[in-house]
């Protein structure tokens, strides 16, 4: 199984709109990331996202750009949720999944997959950034990561 972990795109400030939809810049950066993923011939079977608007909009935009069909909302991907539900799901799933979520959840998930404890920050997530993880012979490993500003 492979995992693509993506922090939602840049959202507008809560003072502008309490539902925090994606900003114009956030949408543009996500299109750049999607273009990179398309050129890299990324194959994703399912996209999971949290209930928050900015995560849903990110998942929908990426799915549209990459012509993906299986976009699923998961109730256990909120910023402060425990990562145990993801472990249950990926343990019984042999598909390649993209998880669109939030900080600190994604950071805790990476650290837990790498078995170093949830307090360690091993990768730097940024809005619209993607971390690709593989479940290899010796366990989970970070294969690559990309953020909008380097594209």
- Give the mean pLDDT of 30-43: 97
- Cα gap 118→22, rounded to integer Å: 28
Record the tokens describing residue 143, joined without a space: 């294969």
The CA distances from residue 56 to 40, 63, 85, 89, 97, in Å, are: 23, 10, 19, 19, 15
- Give the mean pLDDT of 57-74: 97
Say what the pLDDT of residue 148 is. Answer: 95
Say what the pLDDT of residue 88 is. Answer: 87
Record the tokens describing residue 125, joined without a space: 């997530």
* 72-122 pLDDT, tens digit each: 999 999 999 999 999 888 877 778 999 999 999 999 999 999 877 666 778
* 2-23 pLDDT, tens digit each: 999 999 999 999 999 999 999 9
Apex 58 CA angle, 134 and 121, nearest 5: 45
- Give the mean pLDDT of 34-59: 97
The SS3 of residue 41 is coil
**CATH label, 2-150, candidates 3.40.50.1240, 3.30.700.30, 3.40.30.10, 3.90.400.10:** 3.40.50.1240
- Cα gap 123→107, rounded to integer Å: 7
- Give the mean pLDDT of 65-69: 96
**pTM (2 decimals)?**
0.94
Spans of all domains in the chain: 2-150
Query: Phi, psi at residue 55, to the nearest 5°?
Result: -75, -40
Instruction: Please list the alpha-helical segments (H only) found in the chain.
Output: 24-39, 53-65, 84-91, 105-113
Query: Phi, psi at residue 20, to the nearest 5°?
Result: 55, 60
Strand 139-146 relative to strand 130-136, pairing: antiparallel
């Amino acid at each position: 199984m492979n995992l693509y972990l993506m922090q939602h795109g840049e959202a507008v400030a809560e003072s502008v709109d309490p539902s925090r939809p994606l900003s114009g810049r956030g949408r543009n950066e996500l299109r750049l990331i999607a273009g990179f993923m398309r050129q890299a011939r990324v194959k994703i079977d399912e996209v999971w996202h949290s209930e928050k608007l900015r995560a849903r909009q990110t998942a929908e935009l990426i799915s549209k750009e990459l012509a993906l069909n299986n976009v699923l909302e998961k109730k256990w991907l909120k910023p402060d949720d425990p990562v145990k539900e993801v472990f249950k799901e990926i343990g019984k799933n042999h598909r390649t999944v993209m998880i669109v979520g939030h900080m600190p959840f994604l950071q805790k998930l990476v650290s837990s997959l790498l078995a170093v404890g949830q307090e360690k920050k091993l990768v730097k997530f940024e809005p619209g950034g993607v971390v690709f993880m593989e479940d290899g012979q010796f366990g989970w490993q970070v294969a690559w990561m990309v953020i909008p500003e380097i594209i």
